[in-house]
Chain A
Amino acid sequence: MTARTAEGTAGRSDDGGPAPLAPRARLLPALGAVYRAQLSRARVARIPLLFVATFQSVGIMVLLRGVVSGGDPAWSVVSGSAVLVVAFVALNLLAQYFGQLRAGGGLDHYATLPVPPAAVVLGAAAAYASFTVPGTVVTAVFGCLLFQLPMAHLWVLAAVVPLAGAALSGLGAALGLLAPRQELATLGGQLGMSAALLLGVLPAGRMPELIGWARDLLPSTYGVEALARTFAPHPDWPAVAGDLGICAGVGVLSLAVATWAYRRAAVR
């Protein structure tokens, strides 16, 4: 420490070269630190909202129980409701968080630390996504009981939550960081979640063509479909893997966009 400081004060412009730079924070340790910090703040501030998200999804399933009796539509309802919890937290709340951070000058704190932008975005996204796990599991189990679906393949959630979480939280972070005003970030997050609700929960077969396309564009759709397929008596595993692959691809893309948006927002 002392040695570094001593070096740091020698060798300034008057006796030649510039002072050595302090080391950068490396990606993974920085990501871990952001993740841990975000998880702790989520624990304090977001538990009530997680309850809201879970009750919302459970409520939707109870409502639709009267309309949908079982089979293919029931698979969509249960998996759509479970992924909706991810959309609520990862898309909606993260868009709000980054919108608020940007508007309130909070990004300055990160921007004046030698931390890779990806670590901040990925750490926050991962924390929000992992925070959705309990709500998603509760919703899925409740849905299976309500519609008498098999729970044997619910382990697929272990892939659906992180992949859909990555795609949606990248989208949420990008929305929050790119929106010119904080209110627009909130609005964008809300709209995204509404889209995930309407397009994900309702069975796809009954939608008009245009809405069907919108559904195909929404990253959460592929998470919903992957989970829905596993309720079948003989799940089409290659199709499940294909859906999850699309989710992963969109996730990488949306997190890359979010990282770019962070860089853009941090230095003006």
Chain B
Amino acid sequence: MKTGAKQVEHGAPVCVVRDLVKTYPALRGRRGADRAPAVRASDGISLDVRRGEIFGLLGPNGAGKSTLVRQLTGLLRPDAGSITVLGHDLVRHPERAARLLAYLGQESTALDELTVSLAVETTGRLRGLDARTARAERDAVLGELGLVPLAGRALKKLSGGQRRLACFATALIGERPLLVLDEPTTGMDPVARRAVWAAVDRRRAERGATVVLVTHNVLEAESVLDRVAVIDQGRVIACDTPGRLKELVGEEVRLELVWRDRPPLDVPEVAALAAGARTAGRRWTLRLPADQARSAVTAVTAGPAFAALDDFTLATPSLEDVYVTLGGRAEGLVKA
């Protein structure tokens, strides 16, 4: 019975979202003129996050990722739709979110003037820990993330990445089965990033914690996520493992050409490529079947085209390519 239940449980839904709609009303300027039109920031979003997953929400700025997590965390009321976290209806009882999940938002204003140590301890106390447990967990979390040398410094005196790591520590204290992290690694160096992912993995392996992660970093999404929902203009345009999403792009590879000055359009091969290229300044991005990409590389690495060429890269598809193939606007995505 016990083991059976355990097997059913693994991968059981932790967070179920159905047909979520949230519209920000139009901003009225003076004299009744519309300053900004109404924005449908969540436009019928449905998701299932399973136990033990690191589930990503990927999209450029303004896609509606933060609006979605603010609804998951009870900070924002949806206009329509349902959110169920660990069996609790969060639309009807948004105040229960704080007792089910830990949230790392993008802002640290509430903690900025506190020392790292006090920020973590206070958050633990406010998450319901008694004084002794809060101190013990504070020490454990600071040690785990390598924050001990910074413990006595005020958050606002730290660099952006260090401050972000301290805020991440506040999300870990007072353990919750679900972590909702809004761009946790912004500004962090590789060491801090590794500390974050190691801490997340440990909680997942030891306690079956589930993570909902907002990111606009494509590389990070590919390396840490189990599944990813690709979000554009308030809709989920795809949701699967990063590997299977990349299969959508299939055989295509990405060729990037950077011209020294102007592209040599008088070369017929280059002129032929121009039609399918996405242009950003001197940079062309092309998505081609592998054999065509090979012949394109041969063409531009010879003769007058090569003289005009500054740099080129040939790469297998990334989630960014998936995003573009699915019709998203890729400008806001980061590769770092």
> Interface of A with B (CB < 8 Å)?
1-2, 5, 8-15, 17-19, 21-26, 29-30, 32-34, 36-37, 40-41, 44-45, 100-101, 104-115, 119, 266-268
With contacts A14-B8, A267-B77, A268-B75 taken as known, whether A33 is within 8 angstroms of B99 at the C-beta atoms is: no
Question: Among residues 69 to 128 in chain B, which have CB atoms less than 8 Å away from a CB atom of chain A?
Answer: 70, 73-77, 84, 86-88, 94-103, 105-111, 113-115, 118-119, 121-123, 125-128
The listed residue (B12, B106, B111, B127) touching A12 by CB distance below 8 A is B12
Is B208 an interface residue when CB atoms closer than 8 A count as contact? Answer: yes
What residue of chain A has the Cβ atom nearest to residue B203's Cβ? A5
Q: B128 touching A25 by the CB < 8 A rule?
A: yes
In the bound assembly, the distance between CA atoms of A113 and B125 in angstroms comes to: 10
Q: Chain B interface mostly helix, strand, loop or mixed?
A: mixed
Q: A40 touching B13 by the CB < 8 A rule?
A: no
Is B43 an interface residue when CB atoms closer than 8 A count as contact? Answer: no
With contacts A8-B86, A10-B5, A36-B122 taken as known, whether A112 is within 8 angstroms of B103 at the C-beta atoms is: yes
Q: A41 touching B114 by the CB < 8 A rule?
A: yes
What residue of chain A has the Cβ atom nearest to residue B97's Cβ? A112
Q: B75 touching A44 by the CB < 8 A rule?
A: no
In the bound assembly, the distance between CA atoms of A55 and B200 in angstroms comes to: 51
With contacts A9-B9, A23-B99 taken as known, whether A104 is within 8 angstroms of B126 at the C-beta atoms is: no
In the bound assembly, the distance between CA atoms of A30 and B207 in angstroms comes to: 27
Offer 21 A-B interface pairs, CB within 8 angstroms, sorted by A: A5-B175, A5-B207, A8-B177, A12-B86, A13-B84, A14-B13, A19-B177, A22-B174, A25-B128, A29-B125, A37-B119, A41-B114, A44-B113, A100-B109, A101-B110, A105-B109, A108-B107, A112-B73, A114-B126, A266-B75, A268-B75
Size of B's binding interface in residues, CB under 8 A: 57
What residue of chain A has the Cβ atom nearest to residue B98's Cβ? A114
In the bound assembly, the distance between CA atoms of A267 and B93 in angstroms comes to: 12
Q: A21 touching B99 by the CB < 8 A rule?
A: yes
In the bound assembly, the distance between CA atoms of A22 and B101 in angstroms comes to: 9
In the bound assembly, the distance between CA atoms of A106 and B207 in angstroms comes to: 29
- Total A-B pairs in contact (CB under 8 Å)? 155
Instruction: Looking at the assembled complex, report how far the CB atom of A152 sits from the nearest CB atom of chain B, in whole angstroms.
Output: 39
Q: A12 touching B5 by the CB < 8 A rule?
A: no
Is B266 an interface residue when CB atoms closer than 8 A count as contact? Answer: no
The 3 closest A-B pairs by CB, nearest first: A18-B87, A106-B109, A105-B107
In the bound assembly, the distance between CA atoms of A44 and B118 in angstroms comes to: 13
Q: A268 touching B118 by the CB < 8 A rule?
A: no
Q: A104 touching B96 by the CB < 8 A rule?
A: no
What residues of A have a CB within 8 angstroms of the CB of B100 in the complex? Answer: 19, 21-22
The listed residue (A5, A34, A101, A113) touching B98 by CB distance below 8 A is A113
What residues of A have a CB within 8 angstroms of the CB of B76 in the complex? Answer: 267-268
Instruction: Looking at the assembled complex, report how far the CB atom of A159 sits from the nearest CB atom of chain B, in whole angstroms.
Output: 29
Q: B88 touching A19 by the CB < 8 A rule?
A: yes
The listed residue (B88, B99, B101) touching A24 by CB distance below 8 A is B99
In the bound assembly, the distance between CA atoms of A117 and B166 in angstroms comes to: 24
Is B131 an interface residue when CB atoms closer than 8 A count as contact? Answer: yes
What residue of chain B has the Cβ atom nearest to residue A1's Cβ? B175
Instruction: Looking at the assembled complex, report how far the CB atom of B82 sits from the nearest CB atom of chain A, in whole angstroms.
Output: 12
In the bound assembly, the distance between CA atoms of A40 and B112 in angstroms comes to: 12
Is B254 an interface residue when CB atoms closer than 8 A count as contact? Answer: no
Q: A109 touching B105 by the CB < 8 A rule?
A: yes
Instruction: Looking at the assembled complex, report how far the CB atom of A171 sits from the nearest CB atom of chain B, in whole angstroms.
Output: 22
Instruction: Looking at the assembled complex, report how far the CB atom of B80 sits from the nearest CB atom of chain A, in whole angstroms.
Output: 16
The listed residue (A5, A8, A25, A40) touching B127 by CB distance below 8 A is A25
Q: A112 touching B110 by the CB < 8 A rule?
A: no
